[in-house]
Amino acid sequence: MPLFPRAASAAKHIAEAPTSGASRPGSKVLSPRIRTRKAGAVAAAVAAVMALSACGGGAAPQNADGTVELRFSWWGGDKRAQLTQEAIKQFEAENPKIKIKPEFGDWSGYWDKLATQVAANDAPDIIQMDEKYITEYSSRGALLDLSKYDVDTSKLDEAALNAGKGEKGLTGIAAGINAATILANPAVFQAAGVPLPDDTKWTWEDFGRIAAEITAKSPKGTYGAAAYGTDEASLGVWLRQNGKSLYTSDGKLGFEPGDIAEWWAFLKKLSKDKAVPSASEVVEAEAAPLDQSGLATGKNGMAFWWSNQAPALEKASGGDLKILRFPTKTGSAADTELWYKASQFWSASSRTKHPQETAKFINFLTNNVKAGEALLADRGVYPNSEVRAAIQPKLTPADVKVVNFIDQIKDELGEAPAPPPKGAGAIQEIIKRYTSEVLFERLSPEDAGKKATDEMKSAISN
């Protein structure tokens, strides 16, 4: 309703603008009767929508014909989705009365979604669980004690089995065994004319020197190594080599501010020597998915990854990758202090309506050779020794490399680390944040060490 139309054309423009006050055309012509009928239709539609949403809630219903539907959620990329769906197919062929409904996505969104689902009493029946969160979920009663159900654990490696045990029983069965590694891209080394290091003898100084040399002899934008400091694995190795640990067995921090400050001070030195990318590039790399990481795109000579990620990275990089041990302080592989980590766990929701069937599926994933033949080494080396042996011939060359590496370091392993306590899920984010504070020189390693340990302490004390 233009109060003062300046000109006829102006009024027309106003009428065209989305914010114009023109009243809805035709609304006044409708007779009341038609309007009521329309309203009735709307009300019916609303009722229908509400009925639909009512069906959506609740956990797996049992159908009239006796089939049970279980929901199974995991995080991971395309390769993992294909392999896992193959395993599901094998299981359903053996158990026609059980249907498995997969739900998968990226790591970053996975935990938000899971927390919400559990809060809404709508958790998936089978949950792929991580070490960082298992205590959180199990101690709060969200996970099923699998020892009370029919899951055979007799063939599992002891360390892998123990990793899934907590105060609430056996709430997770290791899906695979992992180790922290440095992956090297030989193509980058070759282009720079730098020989690959001998990983049984190298020290952190060697690591820095080699990485800086690669950067110097490579085209702009290529760096010798990716920066560490974006997760707790590399910190864990560093602390263990210094006689400390991330966590103690009673759920406290296993290190002092000074220990983590040293770790950052060394990173700062690497950054100064241009052994690792610039601070901005490090921040950008954090957000990149695996197949766009610096190692996969040939921008990094070396990078910090878990062993089970090597085949996926090799596929993404399109070339050969070499798995290396972490460097040490002493130059002896016996002091690497690596450990076998349960790459991830199979857990079940404590509120599943079908615990028997859920346990049956987890038992299948853990002990059945057919599951092994489908999953191969994507979630790490199979913890079940029989399945591991049976699937050996089926493994791809990249998988074999991983299995061999896990085997090679067997005698050099340090003590099994204490399980991450409740609240450990927040630690990675704290590490990342203070790493960028240090790299951007907004905090000294000492100050970052003090602040970060304070924050970590309060994160795990809740």
Partner 1 sequence: MSAISELSSFTRRKGKVTAEEKKANKRDNKAAYISLLPWLVGLVAITIGPMLMSLYLSFTDYNLLQPPEWTGLDNFTRMLSDARLHNSLRVTFTYVFIGVPLQLAVALLIALVLDKGLRGLPFYRSVFYLPSLLGGSVAVAILWKQIFGTTGLVNQVLAMFGIQGPGWISDPSTALGSIILLHVWTFGAPMIIFLAGLRQIPAMYYEAAKVDGASTLQQFWRITMPMLSPIIFFNLVLQIIGSFQSFTQAFIVSGGNGGPSDSTMFFTLYLYQKGFGQFDMGYASAMAWVLLLIIGVFTAINFIASKYWVFYDD
Closest distance of CB 462 from partner 1, Å: 8
398 alpha carbon, distance to own chain's centre: 20
Yes or no: say if 354 and 118 are a contact pair by the CB < 8 Å rule. no
Residue placing its CB nearer to partner 1 in the complex, 84 or 230: 230
* Closest CA relative to residue 367, chosen from 162, 145, 129, 175: 175
Residue 251 burial (C-beta neighbours within 10 Å; 0-12, 13-18, 19+): middle
Closest distance of CB 170 from partner 1, Å: 19
Residue placing its CB nearer to partner 1 in the complex, 2 or 58: 2
Residue placing its CB nearer to partner 1 in the complex, 17 or 52: 17
Start-to-end CA span in the chain (Å): 59
Neighbours of 336 (CB within 10 A): 23
* Cα–Cα distance measured from residue 401 to residue 399, given in angstroms and rounded to the nearest whole number: 5
- 50 CB contacts (<8 Å, ≥6 apart)? none
Closest distance of CB 109 from partner 1, Å: 8
Residue placing its CB nearer to partner 1 in the complex, 106 or 205: 106
Alpha helices in 353-426 (DSSP H): 355-367, 369-375, 385-391, 397-408
Closest distance of CB 455 from partner 1, Å: 8
Residue placing its CB nearer to partner 1 in the complex, 136 or 373: 136
- 239 CB contacts (<8 Å, ≥6 apart)? 245, 246, 254, 255, 259, 260, 263
C-alpha distances out from residue 53 to 50, 63, 70, 93, 121, Å: 5, 19, 20, 31, 16
Note the residues at the interface with partner 1 (CB under 8 A).
1-4, 6-7, 10-11, 13-14, 16-24, 32, 35-36, 38-40, 42-43, 45-46, 50, 108, 111-112, 115-116, 118-119, 136-137, 140-142, 221, 278-281, 283-284, 286-287, 423, 425-426, 429, 432-433, 436-437, 440, 442, 459, 462
Residue placing its CB nearer to partner 1 in the complex, 35 or 89: 35
Residue placing its CB nearer to partner 1 in the complex, 38 or 410: 38
Residue placing its CB nearer to partner 1 in the complex, 15 or 389: 15
Which tokens sit at 13? 């423009």
Yes or no: say if 313 and 183 are a contact pair by the CB < 8 Å rule. yes
* Cα–Cα distance measured from residue 395 to residue 388, given in angstroms and rounded to the nearest whole number: 10
DSSP assignment letter at 302: E
- 61 CB contacts (<8 Å, ≥6 apart)? 69
Closest distance of CB 56 from partner 1, Å: 14
Closest distance of CB 77 from partner 1, Å: 17
Closest distance of CB 329 from partner 1, Å: 29
Yes or no: say if 221 and 299 are a contact pair by the CB < 8 Å rule. yes
Residue placing its CB nearer to partner 1 in the complex, 90 or 300: 300
Closest distance of CB 456 from partner 1, Å: 12
Closest distance of CB 207 from partner 1, Å: 24
Closest distance of CB 449 from partner 1, Å: 15
Neighbours of 198 (CB within 10 A): 12
Task: State the residue for tokens 């702009």.
Answer: 220
* Buried b / exposed e along 396-407 (16+ C-beta atoms within 10 A): eebbebbbebbe
Residue placing its CB nearer to partner 1 in the complex, 63 or 280: 280
